[in-house]
Amino acid sequence: METLEETELCFPQLLNSSCVKTKRPHYEALLSYILLFSISMLSASLNLLVIISISHFKQLHTPTNLLLLSLAVSDFFIGLLLIFQIILIDGCWFLGDFMCTLYQYIDYIITSTSVGTMVLISIDRYVAICDPLHYSTKVTQNKVKICVCLCWICSVIFQSLILQDVLQEPGRFNSCFGECVIVINYIAGLADVIFSFIAPITVIVVLYMRVFVVAVTQARAMRSHIATVTQGSVKVTAKKSELKAARTLGVVIAVFLMCLCPYYCVALTGQDNLMNASSAAFVICLYYFNACLNPVIYALFYPWFRKSIKLILTLKILQSDSCEVNML
């Protein structure tokens, strides 16, 4: 009798069909709310700064930055979607089956797009470091725009196929009112893990291992002064800029892997049901926290981003011809 009185339902008026709220200490629930809300606001605001910076200043319209723009857009939406994850902290969903399905669908698309964009960034750095003489012809703004669009379109199509059962009948897998779950069949789940995690991560790691080897070789060559003074001064500058970009984006990819691997490993092993609430919350927070780390990395390594933040926050971008400002 004591247990029945202590049990809290998501919908008390639906005594026999309502889901039960997740019981956790008050301080833990409050900390989760504050942490997730902070990550959400930080992710959305920082990535919005990246989006405005690259979109507004013409000098930043480079192929590599267009890839960073696509990544910032996906991270921006991840920050906004985190608001829905906050709703689910106590295990109750109050927005209906359609909104639940829409939330999960968009989340899958954005995550898939982020991984795809990381692959494109790895390819971009691979060509820049391993074939620098042909980089300007192989990697152009138009080609990058097409690749980014295809990445988003393929993510939408692929996730639509993976989640077609849920999309056709929202809420079909809910066992009680207030639940927001989706169940993917074994074949679809296996395809999702392979094409959204294993294959892209393999490509990223292989390409960046190659980039790392070539970058180290080039760095040693620069120090040994093999080239002549006149030729070397020009080549070294170009190589240094590419190496710095590769190093920075390597950090972005490394952080991305560290944040997403625990989430996908849990999904891959199917051990999510065995995790306690605290462990599950940590994995989810780490997964979403990656969205706000990328702009922080840009701020640490890219002077143009720090400069653009000052111009944005001081509203100098509202001035005429501000898009022509020298950012590099």
Model confidence at 4: pLDDT above 60: no
Q: In this structure, is residue 79 part of a structural domain?
A: yes
pLDDT bucket at 268, cuts 50 / 70 / 90: low
Residue 36 belongs to domain with CATH number: 1.20.1070.10
Q: What whole-number percentage of the chain has pLDDT above 70?
A: 84
pLDDT at 63: 92
pLDDT at 5 over 50: no
In a domain, 3, yes or no: no
The pLDDT of 136-147, averaged and rounded, is 92
- Per-residue pLDDT for 218 more than 70? no
What distance in Å separates the CA atoms of residue 264 and residue 134, rounded to the nearest whole number? 36
Q: Which of 93, 98, 103 has the alpha carbon at shortest distance from 176?
A: 93
Quick one: how far is CA 253 from the chain centroid?
A: 10
pLDDT at 236: 45
Q: Which of 254, 321, 259, 322 is nearest to 288 (CA)?
A: 259
Q: Which tens digit of pLDDT belongs to each residue from 12-47?
A: 777 777 888 877 777 777 887 888 888 889 999 999
Q: What is the pLDDT of residue 69?
A: 94
Per-residue pLDDT of 111-122, as tens digits, reads 899 889 989 988
Q: Strand, helix or coil at 18?
A: strand
Residue 258 confidence (pLDDT) above 70:
yes
Q: Work out how many domains the chain is built from and give that number.
A: 1
Per the domain annotation, does 6 fall within a domain?
A: no
Please give the torsion angle defined by the CA atoms of residues 190, 195, 200 and 206, in that order, rounded to the nearest 10 degrees: 70
Task: Examine residue 12 and state whether it is found in any structural domain, yes or no.
Answer: no
Q: Is the pLDDT of residue 286 over 50?
A: yes
Is the residue at 177 inside a domain? yes
Choose between 256 and 277: higher pLDDT: 256
Looking at residues 196-200, what average pLDDT do you find? 86
| pLDDT score of 31 | 82
Question: What percent of the chain is predicted at pLDDT more than 90?
Answer: 20
Q: Is residue 4 part of a domain?
A: no
pLDDT band at 251, cuts 50/70/90? confident
Residue range 219-231: average pLDDT? 57
Averaged pLDDT of the chain: 81
Range(s) of the domain holding residue 44? 25-324
Quote the pLDDT of residue 160. Answer: 92
In the chain, DSSP finds a helix count (H) and a strand count (E) of 12, 0
Mean pLDDT within 125-131: 85
User: Following DSSP, what letter does each residue of 170-237 receive, concatenated?
Assistant: TTTT-SSBT-------HHHHHHHHIIIIIHHHHHHHHHHHHHHHHHHHHHHHHHTT-S-HHHHHHHHH
Q: Is residue 77 part of a domain?
A: yes
* pLDDT, tens digit (0-9, with 9 covering 90-100), for 159-191: 999 888 888 888 888 888 888 888 888 888 888
Q: What's the CA gap between 169 and 49, in Å, rounded? A: 38
Is the pLDDT at 146 greater than 90? The verdict is yes
DSSP per-residue codes, 220-260: HHHHTT-S-HHHHHHHHHHHHHHHHHHHHHHHHHHHHHHHH
Look at residue 2 and tell me if it is in a domain. no
